[in-house]
């Protein structure tokens, strides 16, 4: 059928059978799994000029130059690999190939599960290619997290992903959303996450990489993407490392002065109570796509407009598919063990303490709150953003059987009433920057 998803071997063969596509595949960290698919498909002699793995650091440095900070699994290393290998294919082979040929260099550098290593497994993967004969090359770069438990499974997933990237680059570069939807073809959900994608070059420069990042969340290819205050997509593991984080959830449609004033108020309390300098706190605004049941109806451009406003106010912005608050906490805790706080109003807190909010969890509300209020986690509860008589935490109607639980969390310092914040005192006007 026309819409039937091609297998990995069929994708590799489609490239092999084109006599005008020719290039190099270099892989470091999980075997030569991408190259293997092209050899298994057959007719690879017309496609693959060279495959290589430079595992020894000395060999790798001799080929690609010394790795800055001796970081071999990094974006800079991947870019150097693409630059070196593409230059070689052009200088050595271009003049000897048929007229109309296009050339490519594919590379990945990853850290996978090993004999002695157990833990976070991730890597960088990319392709530099000519989209038309004689053209200057374009790049497509992605960052991946490998979630399988064993090295063998991770190798398999990486090989499939690499074939998907090469196939998409050759056949769907003019339709980047389609290219991205195909990146996880033939991979079960939960094996690979892609948290960054970048298109660049003379042909692909019109692609909005920020929109493409949001497409990753929309397509369930990653649970969240993170933007820094410059509006650039960043790797959570790098941006959040050893950071103390203060977060606020909302749809921010629009971003208003009450939201930022409430955040700034909580930030001052968080700094005082944790002993952290205010300028050292990472300010995070989170918006979820989970509120929209029809994923196809999600307008990524609308989310991006809010990202730009929030970034301009000094926020890191997390666009996620998280429905419950504790999922945000778990995401942050994966990357930093430093203190975490979240600010909400009594309306948001009312959602958190409704038991039906936790339908589907074996442990119900206890499980959800246990995951939210793990070590070093605090919630500031302010009077509501809306107009009218402010409703403080103490004034909230809370079911009697829940009062001991809420009292316990308050006495442990996990829930703090921020009754001294008065939303009615916030003057109308533009939101204020949170980093001031």
Partners of residue 127 on adjacent β-strands: 106, 140
C-alpha span between 149 and 156 (Å, rounded): 12
Residue 411 has pLDDT above 70, yes or no: yes
Tell me the average pLDDT across 98-111. 96
168 secondary structure, DSSP code: H
Q: Which residue has the tokens 């001796």?
A: 70
Question: What is the predicted pLDDT for the residue at 1?
Answer: 42
Burial of 202 (0-12, 13-18, 19+ CB in 10 A): exposed
Q: What is the pLDDT of residues 247-306, one digit of tens each?
A: 999 999 999 999 999 999 999 999 999 999 999 999 999 999 997 777 788 999 999 999
Average pLDDT over residues 425-435: 85
Is 81's pLDDT higher than 70?
Answer: yes
Question: How large is the average pLDDT for residues 4-27?
Answer: 95
Residues with Cβ within 8 Å of 70's Cβ and at least 6 positions away in sequence, in order, are 57
| Integer Cα distance of 73 and 29 in angstroms | 9
Q: Angle, to 10 degrees, between the axis of helix 364-372 and the axis of helix 325-333?
A: 40
Phi/psi for 132 (5° steps) reads -140, 150
Measured between alpha carbons, how far is 34 from 28 in angstroms, rounded to an integer?
Answer: 11
Cα distance between residue 96 and residue 206, in whole Å:
32
Backbone angles phi, psi at 212, to 5 degrees: -65, -35
Helix (H) or strand (E) holding 114: none
What's the rounded mean pLDDT across residues 95-124? 87
As a whole number of angstroms, the distance between CA 147 and CA 172 comes to 27
pTM of structure: 0.92
The first and second tokens of residue 419, run together, are: 């009754």
Domains and CATH numbers, the chain: 8-207 (3.90.950.20), 237-425 (3.40.50)
Angle, nearest 10°, between helix axes 151-171 and 8-16? Answer: 50
Q: What's the rounded mean pLDDT across residues 1-21?
A: 89
pLDDT, position 116: 60
- Write out pLDDT tens, residues 207-244: 999 999 999 999 999 999 999 999 999 999 999 999 99
Report residue 387 CA to chain centroid gap.
36
What are the backbone angles phi and psi of residue 42, rounded to the nearest 5°? Answer: 95, 160
Give pLDDT tens digits for 140-190: 999 999 999 998 999 999 999 999 999 999 999 999 999 999 999 999 999
**C-alpha to C-alpha distances, 43 to 54, 66, 102, nearest whole angstrom:** 25, 36, 17
pLDDT single digits (tens) 20-32: 999 999 999 877 8
| Choice among 55-69, 298-312, 317-331 with the minimum mean pLDDT | 55-69
List 204's β-bridge partners, or say none. Answer: none
What is the rounded CA–CA span in Å between residue 104 and residue 423? 57
pLDDT at residue 433 above 70? yes
Whether residue 203 contacts residue 88, with contact meaning beta carbons closer than 8 Å, is answered with: no
Instruction: Provide, rounded to the nearest whole percent, the portion of the chain with pLDDT above 70.
Output: 97
Phi first, then psi: what are they for 288, rounded to 5°? -105, 145
Element (H, E) at 283: strand 281-288
Helix 75-93 with 57-64: angle, nearest 10 deg: 60
The mean-pLDDT minimum among 64-73, 234-243, 355-364, 381-390 falls in 381-390
Instruction: Provide the 8-state DSSP code for 296.
Output: G
Give the three-state DSSP class for 352: helix
Q: Over the chain, what is the mean pLDDT?
A: 92
- What is the radius of gyration, based on Cα positions, of the chain? 25
């Amino acid at each position: 059928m026309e819409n039937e998803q091609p297998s990995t071997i069929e994708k590799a063969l489609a490239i092999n059978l084109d006599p005008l596509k020719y290039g190099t595949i270099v892989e470091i960290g999980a075997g030569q799994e991408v190259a293997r698919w092209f050899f298994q498909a057959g007719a690879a002699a017309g496609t693959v000029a060279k495959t290589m793995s430079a595992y020894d650091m000395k060999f790798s440095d001799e080929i690609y130059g010394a790795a800055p900070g001796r970081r071999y699994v990094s974006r800079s290393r991947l870019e150097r690999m693409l630059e070196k290998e593409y230059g070689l294919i052009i200088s050595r082979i271009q003049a000897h190939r048929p007229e109309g040929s296009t050339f490519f260099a594919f590379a990945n550098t990853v850290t996978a599960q090993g004999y002695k290593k157990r833990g976070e497994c991730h890597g960088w993967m990319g392709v530099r290619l000519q989209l038309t004969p004689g053209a200057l090359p374009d790049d497509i770069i992605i960052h991946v997290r490998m979630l399988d438990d064993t090295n063998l499974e991770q190798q398999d997933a990486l090989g499939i992903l690499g074939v998907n990237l090469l196939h998409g680059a050759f056949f769907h570069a003019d339709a980047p959303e389609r290219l991205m939807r195909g990146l996880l073809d033939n991979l079960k959900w939960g094996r690979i996450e892609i948290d960054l994608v970048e298109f660049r070059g003379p042909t692909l420069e019109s692609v909005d990489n920020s929109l493409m990042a949001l497409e990753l969340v929309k397509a369930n290819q990653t649970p969240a993407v993170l933007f820094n205050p410059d509006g650039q997509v960043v790797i959570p593991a790098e941006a959040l490392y050893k950071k103390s984080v203060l977060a606020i959830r909302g749809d921010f449609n629009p971003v208003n002065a009450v939201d930022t004033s409430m955040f700034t108020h909580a930030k001052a309390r968080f700094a005082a109570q944790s002993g952290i300098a205010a300028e050292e706190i990472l300010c995070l605004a989170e918006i979820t796509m989970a509120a929209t049941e029809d994923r196809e109806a999600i307008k990524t451009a609308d989310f991006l407009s809010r990202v730009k406003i929030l970034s301009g106010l000094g926020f890191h912005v997390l666009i996620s598919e998280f429905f419950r608050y504790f999922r945000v906490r778990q995401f942050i805790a994966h990357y930093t063990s430093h203190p975490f706080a979240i600010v909400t109003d009594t309306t948001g807190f009312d959602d958190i303490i409704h038991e039906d909010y936790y339908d589907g969890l074996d442990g119900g509300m206890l499980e959800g709150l246990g995951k939210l209020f793990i070590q070093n986690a605090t919630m500031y509860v302010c009077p509501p953003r809306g107009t009218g008589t402010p409703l403080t935490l103490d004034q909230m109607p809370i079911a009697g059987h829940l009062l001991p639980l809420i009292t316990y969390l308050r006495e442990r310092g996990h829930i703090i009433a921020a009754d001294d914040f008065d939303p009615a005192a916030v003057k109308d006007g533009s939101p204020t920057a949170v980093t001031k």
